[in-house]
Amino acid sequence: MSEPVRLGGCAAGWGDLRDAAIPMVEQGVDFLGYDFLSELSLPMLAKRRARDGDDHGHVPGVVARIEPTLDAAGAGRTCVVTNAGGLNPLAARREVARELVSRGWGAAPVGAVTGDDVLDRLGSWAGRGLLLDDPASGMSYCDIADRVVYANAYLGAAPVATCITEGARVVTAGRVTDSALFLGPLLAAFGWTELDKVATGFIVGHLLECSGQVTGGASNFWRQVDRPWVPGYPVAEVSRDGGTVITKPDGTGGLVSRGTVIEQLLYEVQDPACYISPDVTADITDVEVEQVAEHRVSITGVRGHPPPGTAKVVVGYRNGFIGTGSIMFSWPDALQKARRAEEIVRYRLTAEGVAVEELHVERIGVDALHGPTAPEPDPDEVNEVMLRFTARCPDRASARAISEQMLPLFLLGPATPAGLGAPQPVRESVSQLSILVPAELIAPSVHVAPASEAAEDKR
Amino acid sequence: MTLRVRDVAVARSGDKGDVVNIGVIAHDDDAYRVLLEYCTAAAVRSFFGGWAPGLVERFELPRLQALNFVLHRALDGGLSHNLRTDALGKAMGLALLRMPLPGDEGGSDQGIASQQGDRTGD
């Protein structure tokens, strides 16, 4: 493979843009990574699987989401790596394979990574006395064992790399780390084992996995961002020696600057000397970030240490029902009226005996986003406030009662509420525990086959 | 006029479980020195009040002229559990831009640590 290897970060979630990959494909990249999974994704996929059957559980509409890349992948001009497998990587592979066959690419190998789904194994692990505790919440698997809907280990980059080494042109993984979508290709391309280089690849993945967030999206420097309506999503150019430049396709909007790269480098990081993944622990304390040309930023100085001997397993469990209700108040005295209305609703919920486990009230326009740090506004300056109630309740009927408190406010509240929309549907809440288990308990599997064969795979 | 974090830095927050991190990136070396002196873990913890009920750590990245704050138990149980509009704490980094420098140190060292993270994250 010619150097540097070029990798594109095309999606940071399954609602992300669908056309960001087009200039990458046109200008030529070796690997395209689509991160479709967030902490909220697995609960949604679990609900779909429960509703629609065992053929489901992968990211819906995966073919349409990666469509601009499929002919290039089929022809072997690029390789697409995605975690669209979600809770069903083989179903995602089958869907992609069928599309490739219909486009005449039936001979193209396609890969899937499984082994992250450990739902069936939790019980036996607990039975063998394994500690399945979530250190952050102090809860344990045993507390919620009868309410578990999914359990997935974070797999690393190695099985992704194996798929690519075995020729896969599209890889559909399940719950691999987001960075594995990029580190996997780099391991396949360079065969790196030296930990400083592996850590560099991990950090490349960390920078690309949130798509436009490194190229001027969500940036403090938003005023300097060129044409954000046609954003250039990130491209990393990585050499065998670990040399790395972050850039974006020519002719696109966006901004790649020292500032936008540092913003994303620190994003979701805890101790910068100890950024843990299943593949390597990265130390970014001494990383240098330099603007080497317009929209080109180099990264050097990532150090690597061995990964911990543990694997993180996320366990989703049913945790009651969420009901919401909101209503607006206007000047004069909008905030004071909202507070009066809150008093009314709190009293009524208690008087009516509505079962509420947790109630959160915010005044949108005043303190919803900044909580206790929001300053008390001058009452005359507040033109309008949206009062929003969100509650976790043990049953659907109680959750529904939250939105049912809004209409009476028109009749007994201060002058005058407005903006009562249709009642928000109640949703079942799936919360998540993160537990650590010995890494050797997790066994990834790799499946690579020609698209024509994978299209008929009934597993 | 009071100096605020916003005058010397930009910030972005991210979440991991029930933890929020805030990367605070100084405009230049002078600004970084101001942050080092006044933008302490104690000040940040005190500023966030009820939204920072747990340990607050500060990590220094001098080559990037940046500080990384880690606020434990800052998301009411994390994204999948929390009922806020901003369940991810995306706006918490921006909230910190309003903190005055020097800020209220809170008068207590309880629950505060610098440069000694726990190491159980992903």
Q: Would you state the structure tokens that stand for residue A244, as one six-digit string?
A: 């790395």
With CA atoms as reference, the chain A residue closest to B87 would be: A369
Q: Would the CB atoms of A272 and B78 count as touching at under 8 Å?
A: no
pLDDT of residue B114: 43
Contacting residues of A for B79, CB less than 8 Å apart: 39-40
Q: Is the pLDDT of residue B22 over 50?
A: yes
Closest listed residue to residue A277, CA positions, set A343, A380, A187: A187
Q: How far apart are CA A157 and CA A155, in angstroms?
A: 7
Angle made by CA atoms A424, A37, A371, in degrees to the nearest 5: 50
Q: Are A73 and A427 in contact (CB under 8 A)?
A: no
Q: 10-residue block means of pLDDT along chain A (459 residues)?
A: 94 96 98 94 93 93 97 98 98 98 98 97 92 88 95 98 98 98 98 98 98 98 98 98 98 98 98 98 98 98 97 96 96 97 98 98 98 96 97 98 95 92 87 94 98 93
ipTM, two decimals, is 0.96
Q: What is the number of residues in chain B?
A: 122
Q: Are A242 and A200 in contact (CB under 8 A)?
A: yes
pLDDT of residue B8: 98
Closest listed residue to residue A81, CA positions, set A156, A160, A157, A198: A160
Q: Does A390 touch chain B (CB under 8 A)?
A: yes
Q: In the beta sheet, which residues pair with residue A436?
A: A312
With CA atoms as reference, the chain B residue closest to A312 would be: B122
Q: Would you state the structure tokens that stand for residue B75, as one six-digit string?
A: 């998301």
Q: Would the CB atoms of B12 and A267 count as touching at under 8 Å?
A: yes
Q: Which residues contact B3 (CB under 8 A, 6 or more apart)?
A: B34, B100, B101
Q: Are A30 and A204 in contact (CB under 8 A)?
A: no
- As a whole number, the mean pLDDT across chain B is 87
Q: What is the number of residues in chain A?
A: 459
With CA atoms as reference, the chain B residue closest to A264 would be: B12
Q: How far apart are CA A68 and CA A233, in angstroms?
A: 14
Q: Are A340 and A414 in contact (CB under 8 A)?
A: yes
Distance from CA of B86 to the nearest CA of A (A): 6
Other beta carbons within 10 Å of A139: 18
Angle made by CA atoms B93, B96, B98, in degrees to the nearest 5: 135
pLDDT of residue A423: 80
With CA atoms as reference, the chain A residue closest to B9 would be: A220
Q: Is B31 helix (H, G, I), strand (E, B) or coil?
A: helix
- As a whole number, the mean pLDDT across chain A is 96
pLDDT of residue B109: 43
pLDDT of residue B103: 66
pLDDT of residue A135: 85
Distance from CA of B55 to the nearest CA of A (A): 12
Distance from CA of B105 to the nearest CA of A (A): 15
Task: Measure CB to CB from residue B83 to each of A136, A268, A358 and give the nearest one.
Answer: A358
Q: Does A322 touch chain B (CB under 8 A)?
A: yes
Q: What is the pLDDT of residues A408-418, one digit of tens each?
A: 999 999 998 99
pLDDT of residue B117: 39
Q: What is the pLDDT of residues B82-105, one digit of tens each?
A: 999 999 999 999 999 999 998 655
pLDDT of residue B104: 57
DSSP H/E element including A397: helix A396-404
Q: Is A229 helix (H, G, I), strand (E, B) or coil?
A: coil
- 3-state percent breakdown (helix, strand, coil) of chain B, nearest 5: 25, 30, 45
Angle made by CA atoms B39, B44, B50, in degrees to the nearest 5: 170
Q: Does A362 touch chain B (CB under 8 A)?
A: yes
φ and ψ at residue A101, rounded to 5 degrees: -60, -45
Q: Would you state the structure tokens that stand for residue A275, as one six-digit string?
A: 């950024």
Task: Measure CB to CB from residue B84 to each of A319, A362, A391 and give the nearest one.
Answer: A362
| Threshold 0.90, pTM exceeds | yes
Q: Considering only residues 290 to 319 of chain A, which have any Cβ-Cβ distance to chain B shorter than 8 Å?
A: 301, 312, 316, 319
Other beta carbons within 10 Å of B83: 20
pLDDT of residue B108: 42
Whether the CA torsion A8, A233, A110, A107 is positive or negative: it is: negative
Distance from CA of B3 to the nearest CA of A (A): 16
Q: What is the pLDDT of residues A167-192, one digit of tens each?
A: 999 999 999 999 999 999 999 999 99
